[in-house]
Structure 1
Amino acid sequence: MDEAVSSGGATFPAGDSAAPNTWLALTGGSIGIGIPLSAGAAIACPDRPVITLQADGSAMYTIQGLWTQARENSNVTTIILANQSYEILKGELHNVGAQPGPDALSMLNLDRPQLDFVAMAKGMGVPGKRVEDVTELMRAIEDAAKEPGPFLIEAML
């Protein structure tokens, strides 16, 4: 499941060299579909592991889907790509020619307080881990794939 939005541009071509897989992407211009769509995919195909590439900003629209993953014991690894910003919305402002000032731009940052997706996941019954570099990320994905059930990885960008 791909809802990486502004941080995942390089991930799609990587799928060409991956083992056979199904690539589900966000629908139209909607944001927030990644976590619930991955729960649905795991329920529909319980014999197939699901990996979700999820932007942090759009995750905030439907974070409660992690609770569904825990409740259904869905085999989903959710990777939160945490750039700590609604970067896609900043891009859309730029695309329409807007010149937002510092106050407007500050509303699109995911800080004050900084989000802790591992803590949010734990509160909904999903174990998780925060990673700071690619080596840690690869190790966390491999570890999550060995265990059934949901797992969240917060990848700091």
Structure 2
Amino acid sequence: MTLDRLAAAITAALPEGAIVIEESNTAGRDVHPMGAGAPPATWLALTGGAIGVGPPLALGAALACPDRPVVAVQADGSAMYTIQALWTQAREGANVTTVILANRGYEILKQELAKVGANPGPSALAMLEMTGPEVDFVSLARGMGVPGRRVECAADLYRTLRAAIDTPGPYLIEAAL
């Protein structure tokens, strides 16, 4: 799944009036620009300086606006900071569809290291990978009461996202990159 096809699938699936939570600075870089062609929606994003805001921000948006679907476009690395928000989404029946962009690494942290001129060794870089063991977000979601599915192509992402948005309650889609 290429990043431009991923962005096209997500933005094509958005209904009018959706609330989009965007915390995917690396793999989701094309989602916001492509959203300009989507139906009118509210976009909320990380302003910088912290990671992990996506899952709780999506929950808050769903509780504040229960009549509007919430789509959280979420990086896998930053999701790990606040993944427990899925449990509250399930408990509250929050209408949140979370799309985890699974590139299996803390890419934003790698970029920040490069920006400050750091030259980390192999052991330090290994700590920024989400492998050994690989995180299974669908299993994590199910363990917190949120159904989910892993998708590996943009067409499946689009179909799964449309169905999840049209179904009340939380849902998680792990988009393999």
TM category (shorter chain) comes to: over 0.9
Matched, 1:152 2:152: no
Q: Mean alpha-carbon deviation: is it higher for 42-51 or for 19-28? A: 19-28
Matched, 1:137 2:157: yes
Q: 1:44 aligns with which of 64, 79, 85?
A: 64
- C-alpha separation between the residues in 2 aligned to 1:135 and 1:123? 27
Could you say which residue in structure 1 is the equivalent of 2:96? 76
Q: Which runs of 5+ in 2 are unaligned?
A: 1-20
1:19-30 matches, within 5 Å, as: 19-30=39-50
Matched, 1:127 2:130: no
- TM-score with structure 2 length normalisation? 0.87
- C-alpha separation between the residues in 2 aligned to 1:27 and 1:97? 23
Q: Mean alpha-carbon deviation: is it higher for 79-88 or for 99-108? A: 99-108
Q: Secondary structure at the match of 1:42?
A: helix
Q: CA deviation at 1:27?
A: 3.2
Could you say which residue in structure 2 is the equivalent of 1:89? 109
**TM-superposition CA deviations, 1:124-155 (whole Å, max 9, x none):** 00000000111111111011012100000000
- C-alpha separation between the residues in 2 aligned to 1:152 and 1:5? 19
- C-alpha separation between the residues in 1 aligned to 2:137 and 2:47? 24
- C-alpha separation between the residues in 2 aligned to 1:30 and 1:5? 12
The code of the aligned residue for 1:39 comes to: L
- TM-score with structure 1 length normalisation? 0.98
**TM-superposition CA deviations, 1:3-27 (whole Å, max 9, x none):** 0121111111111111110000013
Q: CA deviation at 1:28?
A: 2.5
Could you say which residue in structure 1 is the equivalent of 2:14? none
Please report the RMSD computed on the Cα atoms of aligned residues, expressed in angstroms: 0.7
* Matched-pair identity in %: 62
Q: How many aligned positions are there?
A: 157
- C-alpha separation between the residues in 2 aligned to 1:132 and 1:15? 21
Q: CA deviation at 1:92?
A: 0.6
